[in-house]
């Protein structure tokens, strides 16, 4: 979006709490994480998810990682501590463990440098991929310390590192980001010490293919695939294919970027599916900005959409007022309003492994564009599982005047708040409606204002195993003026690094650690 692209890196620095930022004209920047630093070396065994200086560490009680003392030298530089992966890791739509989430600049040129070694006598592989299990490349960790390098230019705001087989010690991770006219190609290389025999195991051709899939939303080329209805026909836009689809039809969209100029208004029961994770993009950059110019608008029942990216819609990427919609493996970015919104009776929506980031509404300077919104008289039964809202101008999740309870499981809200945006991670209320929302296993990190904000909800809110990390206020649950609320229920919730104290009122808490 045009106004988002004009935002300067200096304005974003405070709101994003030290994370790297994407704009249309990226300033050159460098960010590194050395595990000998005090914020890392005291961690010891890591058995739960943590975020340190913007670097995400994913582990659980059975798949632990640890920061260990290990003195090594490379080209005159001494390293004294390492992150030990403890074994093979995984990142896919159902699990994340023994993995490192590294922030990168979307559609910029990101040179990722990993200093590491195999702890065994043979070489081991370190995968770099996306949240859906896609692999961009595999770097080789030899038995001697070396620095392996991979250049990433895709449309993700984070990438993931994990061992594919056994333990690897990682001493330092560095990301150098700069301007890029992304061509969708990436490469990998290695810089080894003289005593190391390891080198990158990825060929440039396989690396290029992986990154091309991940960066399709920024491609300026026509789609290489086609759109079919029940396996027949050849359409160039989703709108044209939907017009030919009967109730119950399956619309299959091939690999590549498809440029859409009109809203696809869905009232029939249809299934829409892309070619696979990171392979298919609906690009609305040729659509004008405006409240009516949504990417996909769903008023029908039992609509299923999967394996798509949607970018630069003139309003919402997807707007839902129908019943029984299922959204899986979607990536929504740079829309002129909230990425995915459920309103006007939209009910029983199931969202799984959906990411919505960098949305920004130019008309109000960022006040309305959330990652996800279930608001303004939504229906019942809306559920989010493993969904991720990153770097949106207003809030990560907005449940203003929702009118019904929403459930969230293992969802994230990170670095919300740009320009005039509020900057809440999970805004779980508004306008004094009594909505008994339920959040379990969720985390809010680096949001400009609040990680979790009651926002005048007069209902009973439940938070279980939720984390607030380095937000201005991690948890804010106050008594609404002239209204009663609660009691809320908090179990095993933790507050870490908030710059202001938490506010917890009218709540039953057990096993929690708040900063009050």
Q: Are 375 and 398 in contact (CB under 8 A)?
A: yes
Cβ neighbour number for residue 23 with a 10 Å cutoff: 19
Phi and psi at 283, nearest 5°, equal -110, 120
Buried b (16+ CB within 10 A) or exposed e, 120-137: eeebbbbbbbbbbbbbbb
> Going by DSSP bridges, is the β-strand pair 426-427/450-453 parallel, antiparallel, or unpaired?
parallel
pLDDT of residue 87: 92
pLDDT of residue 28: 64
CA angle, corner 453, sides to 16 and 467, nearest 5? 65
Structure tokens that stand for 83 in this block: 């992150």
The pTM is what? 0.61
Report the distance separating Cα 150 and Cα 152, nearest Å: 6
Report the distance separating Cα 476 and Cα 284, nearest Å: 37
Give one DSSP letter per residue of 125-158, joined into a string. EEEEE-TTS-EEEEEEE-SS-EEEEEEE-SS-SE
> Going by DSSP bridges, is the β-strand pair 412-414/388-390 parallel, antiparallel, or unpaired?
parallel
Report the distance separating Cα 116 and Cα 169, nearest Å: 6
Report the distance separating Cα 134 and Cα 154, nearest Å: 12
pLDDT of residue 113: 94
pLDDT of residue 201: 33
Residue partners of 466: CB distance under 8 A and separation at least 6 = 439, 440, 441, 442, 443, 444, 452, 490, 493, 494
Report the distance separating Cα 470 and Cα 388, nearest Å: 17
Give one DSSP letter per residue of 257-310, joined into a string. EEE--S-EEE-S--EEE-SSTTTEEEE-TTSPP-TT--SEEE-SSS-EEEEEEE
Cis peptide preceding 333, ω within 30 of 0: no
Q: Are 98 and 58 in contact (CB under 8 A)?
A: yes
- φ/ψ bin of 291: left (φ > 0), alpha (ψ from -120 to 50), beta (otherwise): alpha
Report the distance separating Cα 331 and Cα 329, nearest Å: 7
Intra-chain end-to-end CA distance of the chain, in Å? 39
pLDDT of residue 483: 84
One digit per residue, the tens of pLDDT, for the chain of length 516 reads 333 333 333 333 333 333 333 333 334 678 899 999 999 989 999 999 998 888 999 999 999 999 999 999 998 899 999 999 999 999 987 789 999 999 998 878 889 999 999 999 888 999 999 988 888 999 999 999 999 989 888 888 899 999 998 999 999 999 988 754 333 333 444 443 333 333 333 332 223 233 333 333 333 334 457 999 999 999 999 999 999 999 999 999 999 999 999 999 999 999 999 998 788 999 999 999 999 999 999 999 999 999 999 999 999 999 999 999 999 999 999 999 999 999 999 999 999 999 999 999 988 999 999 999 999 999 999 999 999 999 999 999 999 999 999 999 999 999 999 889 999 999 999 889 999 999 999 999 999 999 999 999 999 999 999 999 999 999 999 988 778 888 999 999 999 999 999 999 999 999 999 998
């Amino acid at each position: 979006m045009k106004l988002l692209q004009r935002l300067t890196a200096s304005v974003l620095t405070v709101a994003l709490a030290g994370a790297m930022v994407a704009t249309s004209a990226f300033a050159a920047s460098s960010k590194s994480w050395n595990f000998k630093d005090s914020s890392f070396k005291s961690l010891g065994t890591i058995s739960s998810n943590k975020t340190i200086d913007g670097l995400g560490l994913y582990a659980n009680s059975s798949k632990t990682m640890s920061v260990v003392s290990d003195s090594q030298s490379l080209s005159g530089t001494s390293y004294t501590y390492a992150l030990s992966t403890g074994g093979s890791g995984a990142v896919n739509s159902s699990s994340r463990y023994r993995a490192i989430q590294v922030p990168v600049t979307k559609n910029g040129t990101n040179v990722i440098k990993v200093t590491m070694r195999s702890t065994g006598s043979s070489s081991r592989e370190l995968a770099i991929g996306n949240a859906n299990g896609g692999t961009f490349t595999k770097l080789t960790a030899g038995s001697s310390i070396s620095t392996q390098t991979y250049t990433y230019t895709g449309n993700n705001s984070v990438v993931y590192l994990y061992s594919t087989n056994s333990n690897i010690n990682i001493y330092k991770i560095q990301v150098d980001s700069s301007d890029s006219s992304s061509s969708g190609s990436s490469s990998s290389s290695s810089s080894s010490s003289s005593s190391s025999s390891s080198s990158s195991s990825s060929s440039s051709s396989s690396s290029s293919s992986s990154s091309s899939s991940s960066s399709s939303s920024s491609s300026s080329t026509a789609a290489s695939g086609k759109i079919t209805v029940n396996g027949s026909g050849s359409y160039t836009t989703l709108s044209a294919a939907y017009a030919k689809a009967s109730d119950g039809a399956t619309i299959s969209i091939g690999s590549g970027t498809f440029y859409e100029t009109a809203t696809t208004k869905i009232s029939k029961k249809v299934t829409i599916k892309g070619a696979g994770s990171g392979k298919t993009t609906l690009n609305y950059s040729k659509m004008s900005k405006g409240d009516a110019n949504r990417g996909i608008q769903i008023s029908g029942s039992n609509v299923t959409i999967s394996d798509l990216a949607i970018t630069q819609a003139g309003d919402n990427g997807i707007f839902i007022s129908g019943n029984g919609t299922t959204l899986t493996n979607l990536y929504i970015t740079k829309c002129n309003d909230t990425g995915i919104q459920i309103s006007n009776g939209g009910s029983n929506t199931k969202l799984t492994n959906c990411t919505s980031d960098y949305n920004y509404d130019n008309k109000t300077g960022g006040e309305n564009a959330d990652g996800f919104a279930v608001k303004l008289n939504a229906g019942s039964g809306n559920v989010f599982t493993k969904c991720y809202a990153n770097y949106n101008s207003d809030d990560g999740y907005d449940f203003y005047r929702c009118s019904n309870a929403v459930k969230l499981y293992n969802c994230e809200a990170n670095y919300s708040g740009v320009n005039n945006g509020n900057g809440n991670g999970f805004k779980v209320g508004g306008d004094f409606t009594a909505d008994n929302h339920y959040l379990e296993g969720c985390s809010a990190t680096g949001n400009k204002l609040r990680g979790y904000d009651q926002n005048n909800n007069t209902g009973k809110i439940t938070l279980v195993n939720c984390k607030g990390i380095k937000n201005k206020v991690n948890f804010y649950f106050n008594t609404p003026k002239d209204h009663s609320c609660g009691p809320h229920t908090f179990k095993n919730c933790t507050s870490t690094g908030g710059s202001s104290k938490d506010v917890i009122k009218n709540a039953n808490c057990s096993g929690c650690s708040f900063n009050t």
